[in-house]
Every structure is written in C-alpha cells, then in structure tokens.
C-alpha cells in the first residue's frame, strides 16, 4: 500500500511534552467497529468499558538511559542504543556518524567509553563498551532517558523523565523506548480493574529506537522493520488461551504487546510461548489471531504504528477517529492521551 494513504495533518500544539497527573486522568477515545459513535471518556473509566473475564496484557520492559553524548577527538558524537547484542555490545544509531569510523573510540561522560566496532548496512553501528562494569551500570552513570525526537526537540530531558517515562509494570531492563500505552496505569486503576473481574498478564518486549524511525519507502511492501527481542512465558500463554476459551477478550495494552502476541500465535489462534526476535509489520489486510482489542496512544502520521491501528480498525475509521481527536483537543504521542480500539 502507498505510505501516503496513512498521512494526516497534526497541529504541533497537539503534541504532549509532559504527561498528565495523575496518570489515569488522561482522556481516552473509545473507537468501536462499524459506525458506532466515538466516545470521549477517561482512562479511569476503563473498568466500566471492559467486561468481566477480559484480560489486559502489559509489557513489563524497563527503559534504560540509552541516550549517550560523547566525543571522538573534537567531533561530537551522539549514540542511541537500539538493541542488545551481548553483554558488552549494543547496536546503536549514531548522530554525526560521518565523523566516525570502524575502530574509533568514543569518550562519553563520567569515564564511560566504547569502540565503534562495525558499521551495519542500515547505517547504525555495533559499539563495544570498555571496562568490567555491567553496561547497565555504565548507562546509569553516563546515559539519559531516550525521549522520542518529537519531545526532545522541544525541551531538554530532565530528572522528572526518569519517573515519567517508565510504566508501573517496568521490571526487565532493556527498552530504549517506553511502552507508552501503559504509562496511564496507576495502582488505583489496576485495583479497580481487578475488582471488576478484569484480568492482567505481562510479557516482555524490549522496544527499540527503530520504533521512531520514519517510513522512508513510498510503499509499505518496501519497508523493513527493525528486530526487537521479546518473551512470553509458557504459563502466561496458557492462561491467555484459557481466558479466551472461557469467553474473555484479550486486550493488548500497547502496540508492543500486540505485536509480540501476534508473533507468538499460530494460524489456529493458539498463543504459544515465545523467546526471540520479532520483525512483524502489521498493515491493512493482516488477519489478527491473538487480540480482540487494543489500548494505545495516538501515533505519528505515516508511521508503522498508525498502519497497525488502521489494520485493526480500518484505515478510514482511524482517519475519522484521529480527525475527531485533533478537533476535540486530545494530546498526541508518548506523553499524550489514550484510545481504546475494539473492532
């Protein structure tokens, strides 16, 4: 499909640069299949919008301070870690890459250094961190939270982002972008959901910086997704299959949870355990096997994530929903408001 089909105009003032407080007070646009009217609700209303027996699936990845600023000689070099390769090596997108060659050492803050070992075909680098300290310790010393470009270009990252850009479910270190749909959840909300008989499960997908890369191809068939590592435990898969067999709906919280669930599900609709990379790219025409709904924030025009929600609900339906959200003052992107999509 032509990428231009997924374009829309977004006024800059609709881009949120801070989250609302409390988190569950964010607005939520409810979009159902067919021609049902859009509903303007709040995230706090979620227990009344779902049914007893439904299960919400969260991503428990934890964002690491993966944004690094350093120097190679006199040249300023920026690195955004993208995907772990092994204990000391990461794949990274590099800013000012024309000043970097294979074998060059880059000095970051607080004595942290790394070598650009190899340039990859997509222009990113494999970088090897020096020393004996775990890379996570080095990043805590020298790194910053990797805010999305549409926020970082409008204000500096600060200490508040260390808390704001992390979900309450964050357990497993490895993401370089937050699974932002879950930023809206609070203990108060999860307690209300449990009291309403709505279940919850967690999986792990370490979100990579590739999620922010623009689609440069003119046709979706020519776009290559970056791989991300994920895991679904066997008992989680079993419980999700049992819930569905009992009539419950599987509601993914975020496109990351949805993509991993779909990667782990067979043609027969059975969700299986999973551990490995996924490069799944969901566009209109895709037949969903694992999920019955999605809670997600509002995404960028011509992005793979807007293509995904268009696949779930229909492109014209989502174009209309986004037009409604823009006209009604919803806040967009990572720190913005939410939507609940039930096809």
**pLDDT at res. 212:** 66
Do 127 and 180 belong together in one domain? no
Do 25 and 125 belong together in one domain? no
Q: Report if residue 156 sits inside a domain.
A: no
Residue where a domain terminates, one of 112, 143, 174:
143
**pLDDT at res. 122:** 85
Do 75 and 128 belong together in one domain? yes
**pLDDT at res. 149:** 86
Give the mean pLDDT per block of 10 residues along the chain (343 residues): 95 96 98 94 98 98 95 94 92 93 96 96 94 94 91 91 96 94 98 98 90 82 90 98 98 98 97 96 97 97 96 97 98 98 97
The domain spanning residue 100 has which CATH number? 2.40.10.240
Alpha-carbon gap, residue 272 to 266, rounded angstroms: 8
List Cα–Cα distances, 5 to 9, 178, 212, 218, 311, in angstroms: 12, 27, 19, 10, 12
Number of structural domains in the chain: 2
Do 48 and 170 belong together in one domain? yes
Predicted structure pTM score? 0.93
Do 181 and 196 belong together in one domain? yes
The domain spanning residue 338 has which CATH number? 3.40.1780.10
Q: Report if residue 94 sits inside a domain.
A: yes
Do 212 and 101 belong together in one domain? no
The range of the structural domain enclosing residue 77 comes to 67-143
**pLDDT at res. 227:** 87
Q: Report if residue 149 sits inside a domain.
A: no
Do 299 and 238 belong together in one domain? yes
Do 57 and 98 belong together in one domain? no
**pLDDT at res. 325:** 98
* Beta-carbon contacts of residue 82 (< 8 Å; ≥ 6 apart): 90, 91, 92, 93, 124, 176, 208, 209, 210, 226
Do 136 and 105 belong together in one domain? yes
Q: Provide the token pair at 183.
A: 């930023």
Do 222 and 97 belong together in one domain? no
């Amino acid at each position: 499909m032509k990428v231009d089909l997924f374009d829309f105009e977004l006024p800059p003032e609709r881009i949120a640069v801070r989250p609302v407080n409390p988190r569950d007070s964010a607005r939520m646009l409810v979009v159902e299949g067919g021609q049902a009217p859009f509903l303007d609700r709040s995230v706090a209303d979620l227990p009344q919008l779902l049914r007893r027996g439904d299960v919400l699936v969260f991503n428990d990845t934890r964002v690491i301070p993966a944004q690094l600023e350093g120097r190679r000689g006199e040249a300023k070099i920026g690195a955004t870690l993208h995907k772990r390769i092994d204990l000391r090596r990461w794949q990274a997108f590099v800013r000012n890459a024309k000043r970097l060659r294979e074998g060059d050492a880059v000095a970051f803050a607080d004595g942290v250094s790394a070598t650009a070992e190899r340039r990859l075909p997509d222009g990113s680098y494999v970088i090897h961190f020096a020393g004996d300290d775990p890379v996570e310790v080095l990043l805590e010393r020298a790194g910053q939270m990797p805010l999305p470009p549409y926020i970082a270009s409008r204000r500096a990252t600060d200490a508040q982002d260390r808390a704001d850009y992390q979900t309450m479910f964050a357990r497993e270190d490895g993401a370089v972008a937050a699974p932002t749909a879950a930023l809206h959840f609070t203990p108060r909300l999860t307690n209300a959901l449990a009291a309403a008989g709505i279940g919850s499960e967690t999986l792990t997908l370490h979100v990579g910086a590739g999620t922010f890369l623009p689609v440069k191809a003119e046709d979706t068939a020519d776009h290559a997704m970056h791989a991300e590592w994920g895991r679904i435990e066997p008992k989680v898969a079993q419980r999700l299959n049992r819930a569905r067999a009992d009539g419950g709906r599987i509601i993914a919280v975020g496109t990351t949870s949805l993509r991993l669930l779909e990667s782990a599900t067979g043609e027969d609709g059975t969700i299986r355990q999973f551990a490995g990379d996924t490069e799944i790219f969901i566009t209109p025409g895709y037949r969903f096997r694992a999920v019955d709904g999605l809670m997600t924030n509002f995404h960028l025009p011509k992005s793979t994530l807007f293509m995904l929600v268009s696949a779930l609900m229909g492109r014209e339906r989502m174009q209309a929903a986004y037009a409604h959200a823009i006209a009604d003052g919803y806040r967009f992107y990572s720190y913005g408001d939410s939507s609940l999509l039930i096809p």
